[in-house]
Structure 1
């Protein structure tokens, strides 16, 4: 942190990304009123990073852009939806998660213009989603529905729904809340109906690991339960070496008495094969729990299943 009183937060310009940054600014302002924050918008990784792109290590252009801004010293802090950060590889060298914020709702919501629920949708209804995790699970529970690919941020997908590109959407409850449209959910799906992605509802604060000033300033925003749950989930994904086309779902839950559990599922894209594991750990080591659940899935054939999916 070049200026002890200023933290530069890198963000892309989508409404959800900016809403996430505003949450961090508000929480940091309450905790540390002595610190000012400013937002650094990102352009493309190629524009910003003149070195070897392979050094950025990320899959998505978004994480590459953000990593580049951090590593180049153009920003001090990045705010990520943890579910979007690859876990089959380490964070880019020189960066670290300094804190995970208190977790939001991890569930998915159905958005239907007439307020129908998933079970009320007629055969052939088109569900807009590009998530392999959602597609696989819908193939199991509602095989009479049709999934149509739909990318873009939540606002863009809602525009496509309004334009008739799909009959309904599946979106994260936390995403709808972040863009200020929670009332659009016609049904909130249980985690049994739609197992969430790894890292759902968690915002991670990424810094340069040598930037002690920023790390110290934002560490107080961290939530202990979110840290334990996310550590277990990301270790699971790391051991499974899941790629972005792998239908892997799961969530850890820290109970009030300190116990921690992790449930995880691996699917074939058509949903015909489902591997399932659920274990409890003592209060001590979330990473070991993540490893143990991953090994239970590997014993059931998860490696072959994941490797058979093109990516």
Structure 2
């Protein structure tokens, strides 16, 4: 029996259930174990309570205490620093990493009027949306997908910006009024990808997770998260990143785009390198961004 720890939210449960079903399809027995995290019970802004890492600490504690065997994380919520005794046993194929708009009256970003009230709890989104110069009024929000979309339905907000992957996993893509082009708004590092964490020495669990691994997704998110780590920025920092593995003349290449919000606006750069050196690509782009700011 594999004990799979998950937060209780609808999205976390949907993600955990997807992993559980994949493992069951491979012949394993899986039990879901609900875990309550600090981020679930404290509704203060994330930057005040320790960043999005507050969603994962309780899961990691349960892993280290041998109360669960695996934990499923949204990689955009996972701190970049490793934890002794734990490892990411598998990173499955990624969902669409882009951000989306859910707006009143089916409006797109460009159709929202000047002064429209747009909700997002992400400094990354705020920095990039401000840089577009659309005259939007951006306001911080917290809560699950249901409560955020309800703010639009109830007329409290004109629109909210969310991760497309979450809506896809919840079967709510029909409520999206626009998928945002990464040229406008780069997603968070790791957005749309899941990280399945386990104890580093648990060879049985590692073997069970191996078929779920997608090497291209791991390379892409490793580069994105290395960019974040090299910038020494937390998960709530105004950093956007998106990488993809493509076929180059000399084999597989990794292309990485990054955006860093500063007092002067948003600095955007890109870099590329061998697909088997995602750490190097991420470090190189981060260094260049730091030189430009």
TM-score by length of 1: 0.86
Q: RMSD of aligned C-alpha atoms?
A: 1.7
In the alignment, is the contact (CA less than 8 A) between 2:220 and 2:254 conserved in 1? Answer: yes
1:26 corresponds to: 21
- State the SS of the aligned residue for 1:127: strand
Correspondent of 1:60 among 44, 50, 53: 53
Change (3 A) 1:58 1:243: closer
Q: Secondary structure at the match of 1:200?
A: coil
8 Å contact 1:58–1:64 — kept in the other structure? Answer: no
Cα deviations by residue, 1:111-156 (Å, 9 ceiling, x for unpaired): 0131011101111110011110111111111441101111011112
Instruction: Give, in whole Å, the separation in 1 of the partners of 2:94 and 2:269.
Output: 22
CA distance in 2, matches of 1:95, 1:202: 18
Aligned-pair distance for 1:28? 1.6
Tell me how far apart the structure 1 counterparts of residues 287 and 222 of structure 2 sit (CA, whole Å): 16
1:243 alignment partner, SS class: coil
Partner of 1:176: 167
Alignment of 1:1-311 (within 5 A): 6-30=1-25, 32-33=26-27, 35-44=28-37, 60-87=53-80, 90-257=81-248, 258-268=252-262, 272-301=264-293
- Residue correspondences, number: 279
Matched residues in 1 for 2:152 and 2:66: separation? 40
Conserved 8 A contact 1:148-1:166: no
Kept in 2: contact 1:58–1:92 (CA 8 A): no
What secondary structure sits across from 1:201 in the alignment?
A: coil
Moved more, 235-244 or 175-184: 235-244
Q: CA deviation at 1:160?
A: 2.5
Poorly superposed stretches of 4+, deviation over 6 Å: none
Q: Distance in 2 between matches of 1:44 and 1:99?
A: 22
User: How big is the shift at 1:44?
Assistant: 4.6
CA offset digits 1:162-204 (Å, max 9, x no partner): 2222111111111111111100001111110111110011001
The SS at the match of 2:61 is helix
The residue matched to 2:206 in structure 1 has which SS?
helix
User: Which ranges of structure 1 fall in alignment gaps of 5 or more residues?
Assistant: 1-5, 46-56, 302-311
Q: How far is 1:299 from its partner? A: 1.5
Deviation at 1:256, TM superposition (A): 4.0
Distance 1:287 1:44, change over 3 A: closer
Q: How big is the shift at 1:58?
A: 8.4
Deviations 1:43-99 (A, max 9, x none): 356xxxxxxxxxxx9863321111111111100000011001122xx2222111011
- Structure 2 Cα separation of the partners of residues 173 and 59 of structure 1: 18
- Between the aligned partners of 1:235 and 1:166, the Cα distance in structure 2 is 35
User: For the Cα contact (< 8 Å) 2:63–2:70, is it kept in 1?
Assistant: yes
Match of 1:48 in 2: none
* TM-score, L = length of structure 2: 0.91
Structure-2 separation of matches of 1:286 and 1:79: 22
